[in-house]
Structure 1
């Protein structure tokens, strides 16, 4: 298995899903439970292939990019000033998929939908990483 290729593929899927979900959140379409489950599975795959790339590509550009992606998935996010604690993207995915608690994932997507510049920079950085993985 080529973990760098798989990570790139999942990053591109993640980017596409962020666009779709934030467009729905900004528009009049409802984000469905199925949308959140699918997005959660993509988050898990990104985490899995980032971990695999870290294990398979020590001391390389691939390792560095995988390290950044792993940090994005596992970095605590402050969802709002009212939130009692921070949650990671992988924790939000687990809650949405395994425990049927979609509140945190919905809040995260709504925050991304409202923060155009932040979302744009986030997606641009992930796109650059995906391009680097293709090289």
Structure 2
């Protein structure tokens, strides 16, 4: 879980992870899912778990419990799914083959439930300080 204020680079980190998996680790494109929940809710009212279920059914003709491939799920702006932590918990409990990264605003810290908390590792993404910014230039 990567919470942080807007504009610190959470989406950029997800894109970098996507390209790393694709180009450095040679993971097939159909095994990497990038999902932006803010875009998703503009199109249809559904949740992360439903999207994953639909994807697995359409792409691999399988379901969470029967999945035999490793899948990387990169979820941006997850706070737009009000039940994102429960979706993550259910996906985690039903398949050891799915690795998930969730990003969202700092308010995300307050919204995850106790069941999801013990299944998640949280790394807060903070803005660069002045010295770090100089190193990046």
TM-score when scaled to structure 2? 0.32
Higher helix share: 1
Structure whose alpha-carbon radius of gyration is higher: 2
